[in-house]
Structure 1
Amino acid sequence: MLETNTNQKKDIAVLIPCYNESQTIEKVVKDYKEAYPDATIYVYDNNSTDNTAQIAEEAGAVVRHEYAQGKGNVIRSMFKDIDADCYIMADGDDTYPPVPEMADLILSRKAHMVIGDRLSSTYFQENKRPFHNTGNRAVRWLINHLFNIDVKDIMTGSRAFSYEFVKTFPVLSHGFEIETEMTIHSAAHDLRMVEIPVEYRDRPEGSESKLNTYSDGIKVLKMIARLFKEYKPMLFFGSLAFILFIISLILFIPVLSEYFQTGLVPRFPTLIVAGILMLIALLLCVCGLILEVIVKKNRQIFELFLIKTKR
């Protein structure tokens, strides 16, 4: 529990999804119990083959199990099952310490989501996986430009959420792309995001990351493309339409030039292809316009739902 200005105690839930983190989970649970002495620590074990669940329970955590493999599936169960005024999400690998300021920002209603920014502190010095560093930079650049935001650490697992965010966030991801989905959801719905630097330290020796640089990176990119299409359909379909329009013009202009010079159209196949591409471009524009109207209507419904969810 945490006191507010009105002396009303607020519930804090610390959420720790885990898969084979027996080496570090005890320290993580104890660190968060010390940082948030009145909070409830939840450890959701995701089919661990070691004794992660037993160690977490002995350390004082409430242990539950999620049998659908993947971090996104775990987060979905956590958000569905647990009610609190403030949610602190952490990883069980002890790569960053708890930051009590996160809860303060949520409980004072200064943010719907607080992001623990590793990249502005020690991440690039501590992280020994160079392709992860490159991937983080690429994903950050892509999302910031597509969604017109300025978030420094897109894929961090150190976050805090308000009750409104948790109960209005539709979890669609199954794996490690969940953090990226959270950021895009906040950007698309103008939910307040605040970043604070957190110290990053690499995994201790003997502890292995479950993140696969290539396969999980591809999943993240596919998820970004899908959400970009769903949240910004006019820009998505309009961009495709513009590309096809330019190709159509490139094919059509020489045919038109020959017609003016000779009065003949000797390259009918090229003319037909140019016409088909132009037609597809027009259809894509229409699709974008229709979907844009639907997105705006869904946005209105979301805002009403957000008001009703206010705790």
Structure 2
Amino acid sequence: MDKIAVLIPCYNESKTIEKVVTDFKKALPEATIYVFDNNSSDGTDEIARKAGAVVKYEYQQGKGNVIRRMFREIDAECYVMTDGDDTYPAESAREMVDCVLNHHADMVVGDRLSSTYFEENKRPFHNFGNSIVRSSINSLFHTNIKDIMTGYRAFSYQFVKTFPVLSQGFEIETEMSIHAADKNMFVENVIIEYRDRPEGSESKLNTYSDGFKVLRTIASLFRTYKPMAFFGVIALILAVLGVGFMIPVLVEFNHTGLVERFPTLIVCCFVILAAMVSFFAGLQLQTITRKNRQDFEMELQHVHYEYEHLEK
């Protein structure tokens, strides 16, 4: 098992990968640098290999698929994940590693948003999207993660081996953040100096399609991790609509003794019934979610035992 493993997912980063590998070898000389190539066509893998990295391959396209492969194949006491585009400073890696190895953090977030991100990043919709995602997740999951979508993170062995990778693309960082918040993982924030991509290096992130995927992922994970809140809101909305439209019908019946709008009455009854179904569905799923959390804690015990065995 490696003491420290630096994991770099790459897709066509030939202009920057050599510098990234060299910088991290200098910052963490005891670390093993892994570059996971994701079908690059510009020779990224050969450049990384010549720079001294261990090159592995993931042929299923998408950052989430690459991270799944990384977490399955590599065993280490501490993992540092960064991008191959030279936007994250290797000099911050030592502080992040110390948080994992000495402070027992499960995930360390390289916080771009508290430093230079909004000045360096020239894409205004990315800035706006990052702020919206951060506010949404911190509000919905009652956490204080400073940068939800950063690709610069450090992890403990326990986090990596218990994190179920479901996303295939760039929404993977959002999934990591929500998983850590829901499972009461110890998260620390380390402020880093972000720099924009060098000239000639192009981002693989599509502002609109990937942004929509991230928002959809937040909604999906909120439903999964907070079912009572999710279905409770739906139940409340349906109940308000059903009762609101039924009140005039009941007032009319009280005055005349007749129900002239039977269709409205019938629809209202079905809407209120749907609200009751939604409420009890949320209640049942909340019980299942609580049981899953208990099972997860037991799984952590198993992974901790496995970790100690690998150290020996």
TM-score with structure 1 setting the length: 0.96
Match of 1:18 among 2, 5, 10: 10
Tell me the distance in 2 between the aligned counterparts of 1:96 and 1:43. Answer: 15
Q: For 2:26, what is the secondary structure of its paired residue? A: helix
2:108 counterpart of 1:114: yes
Confirm whether residue 35 of structure 1 aligns to residue 27 of structure 2.
yes
Query: How far apart are residue 307 of structure 1 and its match?
Result: 1.4
What is residue 221 of structure 2 aligned with on the other side? 227
SS at match of 2:76: coil
1:108 positional shift: 1.4
TM-score when normalising by structure 2: 0.96
Structure 2 residue aligned with 1:189, among 171, 183, 188?
183
CA distance in 1, matches of 2:72, 2:224: 23
Instruction: State the partner residue of 1:4.
Output: none
Partner of 2:73: 81
Q: How many equivalent residue pairs? A: 303
- Aligned partner of 2:154 in structure 1 is 160
Distance in 1 between residues matched to 2:41 and 2:122, nearest whole Å: 26
SS in structure 1 of the partner of residue 108 of structure 2: strand
Q: Sequence identity of aligned pairs in percent? A: 64
Distance 1:255 1:149 in 2: 45
Aligned mates of 1:139, 1:245 — CA distance in 2: 29
Partner of residue 6, structure 1: none
Is the partner of 1:85 in helix, strand or coil? Answer: strand
Deviations 1:194-234 (A, max 9, x none): 00100000000000000000000011111111110010000
Q: Could you say which residue in structure 2 is the equivalent of 1:246? A: 240
**AA at the equivalent of 2:111:** D
More displaced stretch, 137-146 vs 115-124? 137-146
* RMSD of aligned residue pairs (Cα, Å): 0.9
From 58, 61, 67, the equivalent of 2:53 is 61
CA deviation after TM superposition for structure 1 residue 109, in Å: 3.9
The within-5 A match list for 1:1-311 is 11-98=3-90, 99=92, 100-310=94-304, 311=307
Q: Give the superposition deviation at 1:153.
A: 0.6
Runs of 5+ consecutive residues of structure 2 not aligned to the other structure? 308-312
The runs of 4+ residues in structure 1 deviating greater than 2 Å are none
- With 277-286 and 101-110 compared, the bigger mean Cα shift is at 101-110
Secondary structure of 1:156's counterpart equals: coil
Shift of 1:152: 1.6
